[in-house]
A and B are shown apart, each in its own frame.
Chain A
Amino acid sequence: MGDKKPDRSAVPDAEIVKLVVDGEIDAFDELVRRTRRPAYRLARRITRNHEDADDVVQDSYVKAYRALPRFDPSRAFQPWFLTIVARSALSQIRQRARRATVPLDEPGPDGTNLADRLSEGALDVAAKQRLLDAEEALSKLSDEHRAILSLRVEGDLPYSEIASALEIPVGTVMSRLARAREALLEEVEKLRAERFRRPS
């Protein structure tokens, strides 16, 4: 049954959206396939735990499906969808401001942590450490700073899209993103300084 589905991997977003709006729900699968990875990464970065990220992404797809008639076909689907994910994720963490999160240095629910996954890759030791530092520094930022940086990093969204996602003016995006980046650099510096003082 699944084999009979047409291959839509080369079909533009706008055409797929039109198919879905016209009632061909199966076409929505292709939009999910194209966006699920960045959507999950963004939700996970903002919520900082798998279960919330899972809830956020699933709910965001339903919201996006319902809102498809308002999608501007002249644009790509992913940035539009990621703004929905970001807003849902922020709403989730506001509702559960003190929800338990999984620290990076402890195994996640599937028994692995980021360092384990890094060890499977081809990065050298120094690059892995830099990456771990960056992740840890990001996780230490405030929700506000983490969210805006995640939108920039995972979504590569222009300021206008970030403004829309966070419901703030573009000027605020500029200043908040700048503060977030400065805070990130500062956290990384702290981590490196700490490691330098206590090598082992």
Chain B
Amino acid sequence: MTNERIHPPSEDLFAYRDGELTPEKRAAIEAHVMGCSVCRSLIDQVSSLEAELRQSPDVAPAGYLDHLHEAVRAKVAVAASEGGVEEKKAPPREKVPPRLGTVVGAARDEDEGPRRERGRIKEAPSLPWAAVIGTASAAAAVLVVVVILIKQGPYQKILLPTPKGATVTTAPARQESLVGGERAVGGANVDLKEREAAKKEVAGTKVAIGAGAATSGTTAPEQVAPKPFANLNPAESPTEEKQDEALKDKLAKRADEIVAQPAPSAAGKVQAEADLMDAKTRMQQRAASPRAFADEQLAPGPAYDAILKRYNLPPLWAPRVSTEALANAESELRNLYVSGNAGTDSARVRLYIAEAVRLRYSPGDAPLYDEIVHHYRRVIEMSAPDSEMRRVAEERLRSLER
């Protein structure tokens, strides 16, 4: 065995080359590298490859960086008009409990900047003690309440009599608590008489609720079935245990239905909320992309117009467009897009590009499928919500077979 065969791990060699080792380790690796031609060669090869990559010419289309600058300026202006930088409203990140096993203090959101090495290495993972203590206190309080209630037995006596159907949703939960509580304590002192009384209360509840609902004159009669055991075979003559369970299930089911169902009187509110959400979505889409200025109502810009005339194409793609003309125009349309000169025609150009790619597409061609979908989606993002262009793009996207 020769000394030259015992090479340090490549991680250490490259870290040495990158100046990322501690002084002690650096000295050790350096001592080896100085006397080892194999390791020196490895480091040299990587260095020269990376140097070659660094001097690789830009692959950005001509004029792109200027176009980028303009596009960024527009987007930042939109962001500024929406509230600008995050300022102090963002909570201090240092208070967020670090995730064990990950980089402490590292950025978590995409828009979050990097953190310092200092914070990452030296900060010991600390538990959020205030949160832990708070949670523990809350859990202890809940536990105490539950124990007290269980010991008091049929606490529903106080809580269950509900004259109106409006409070039905809480009843099953309480019954669950009771039953669960009894089972949980198991051999603990559970007064059988109290248990009997509780079951009678449960059985009586349906009458009280039914009566309350019948007088309400709303949909309440449906909220609680007046015949909770109607679906059971009368011949079976269910025991109290079964009745208890059946009623519990029935009430729980109805409660879920009521919760899931919007009240008729809230219909207008629901619609208003939907409209508001829609408006917000539209605003966000506009804000997210200044290229949303694209509008098919605008006259085509000179570069786009020249291509349209050269290939006899309409300003907006339509099914009647000649496939031959489209195929011929594709490269010029692409050039226009990447040059940054498409401006407000960007969405229309992209729709044409999607259609041109689609000419070559057949189902199963995943890369082309992805590209076409990407173009359509960008058109949808860039165009006004109620525009013809958006409608066309959405329709074409729907009709695209994977």
Are the CB atoms of A36 and B115 closer together than 8 Å? no
Inter-chain contact A40/B60, CB cutoff 8 Å: yes
Interface assignment of A58: CB less than 8 Å from any CB of chain B: yes
Size range of the chain B interface in the assembly: 35 or more
A37 with B57: in contact, given A67-B111, A69-B90, A98-B370 (CB under 8 Å)?
Answer: no
Which of these, B55, B60, B106, B111, contacts A84 with CB under 8 Å? Answer: B111
A61 and B75 contact, CB distance less than 8 A: yes
- What 1/0 mask marks residues of chain A from 154 to 185 whose CB sits below 8 Å from any chain B CB? 10001111011101111000110110011011
Min distance, Cβ A89 to any Cβ of chain B, angstroms? 10
Binds A, one of B63-71, B131-139, B174-182: B63-71
Per-residue contact bits, chain B 314-355, to A (CB 8 Å; 1 contact, 0 not) = 000000000000000001001101110000000000000000
Chain A residue with the shortest CB-CB distance to B63? A110
Contact of A145 with B by CB under 8 A:
no
Bound CA–CA A195/B77 (angstroms) = 51
Q: Are B86 and A70 in contact (CB under 8 A)?
A: yes
- CB of B114 within 8 A of CB of A80, answer yes
B65, A37: Cβ atoms under 8 Å? Answer: yes
- CB-CB under 8 A from B75, the residues of chain A are 58, 61-62
B20–A174 CB distance below 8 A: yes
B:40-56 near A, CB below 8 Å: 42, 45-46, 49-50, 52-56
CB-based nearest A residue for B101: A169
Chain B residues near A21 (CB, 8 Å)?
A: 85, 87
- The A-B contact count (CB < 8 A) is 224
Among listed B8-16, B27-35, B187-195, B207-215, interface-contacting one: B8-16
| Binary CB contact string for chain B from 104 to 130 against chain A (1 if under 8 A, 0 otherwise) | 001110111111110011000000000
Interface size counted on chain A using CB atoms at 8 A: 84
Residues on B with C-beta less than 8 A from A135 are: 53, 56
Partner of A114, one of B10, B57, B69, B371: B57
CB distance from A190 to the nearest CB of B (A): 14
Instruction: Considering the complex, give the chain A residue whose CB is closest to the CB of B69.
Output: A32
* A134 and B371 alpha carbons, distance in the complex (Å): 27
- Mask for B122-164, Cβ within 8 A of A = 1, else 0? 0000000000000000000000000000000000000000000
Q: Is the CB of B112 within 8 A of A79?
A: no
Residues in chain A near residue B302, CB distance under 8 A: none
In the assembled complex, which residues on chain A have CB atoms less than 8 Å from the CB atom of B230? none
When distances are taken between beta carbons in the complex, the residues of chain A under 8 Å from B57 are: 114, 117-118, 120-121
Known: A69-B87, A84-B113, A167-B103. A62 touches B10 (CB 8 A): no
Judging by beta carbons under 8 Å apart, are A72 and B335 in contact? no
Residue in A71, A131, A185 whose beta carbon sits within 8 Å of that of B113 in the complex:
A71
Nearest B residue (CB) for A41: B58
Cβ–Cβ contact B61 & A72, under 8 A: no
Give the residue among A69, A152, A158, A159 with the most B Cβ atoms within 10 A.
A69
For the complex, would chain A's binding face be called helix, strand, loop or mixed by DSSP majority? helix
Q: Given A36-B65, A181-B46, are A61 and B110 neighbors across the interface (CB < 8 Å)?
A: no
A153 to B51, CA, bound (A): 8
Q: Which residues of B contact A96 (CB under 8 A)?
A: 370, 374
Q: Which chain A residues border B58 with CB–CB below 8 Å? A: 37, 40-41, 117
Bound complex: CA A75 to CA B113 (Å): 12
In-complex Cβ contact of B338 among A50, A91, A120 (8 A): A50
The answer to whether A54 and B68 touch across the interface, beta carbons within 8 angstroms, is yes
Chain A residues with Cβ below 8 Å from B86 are: 66-70
Contact of A99 among B14, B337, B370 (CB under 8 A): B370
Does B73 have its Cβ within 8 Å of any Cβ on chain A?
yes
Tell me whether A110 and B62 are in contact (CB under 8 A). yes
**B79 part of interface (Cβ distance < 8 Å):** yes
Beyond contacts A66-B86, A68-B85: 8 other A-B pairs, Cβ-Cβ < 8 A, are A57-B72, A65-B85, A69-B87, A80-B114, A101-B367, A134-B56, A153-B54, A175-B11
The 3 closest A-B pairs by CB, nearest first: A164-B114, A160-B117, A63-B111
Q: List 27 A-B contacts (CB under 8 A).
A: A25-B77, A40-B64, A50-B59, A54-B68, A58-B71, A62-B72, A63-B110, A65-B79, A67-B113, A68-B86, A69-B85, A69-B87, A70-B90, A109-B334, A109-B337, A110-B334, A111-B331, A111-B335, A118-B57, A130-B52, A134-B53, A134-B56, A138-B53, A149-B53, A152-B50, A164-B120, A178-B9
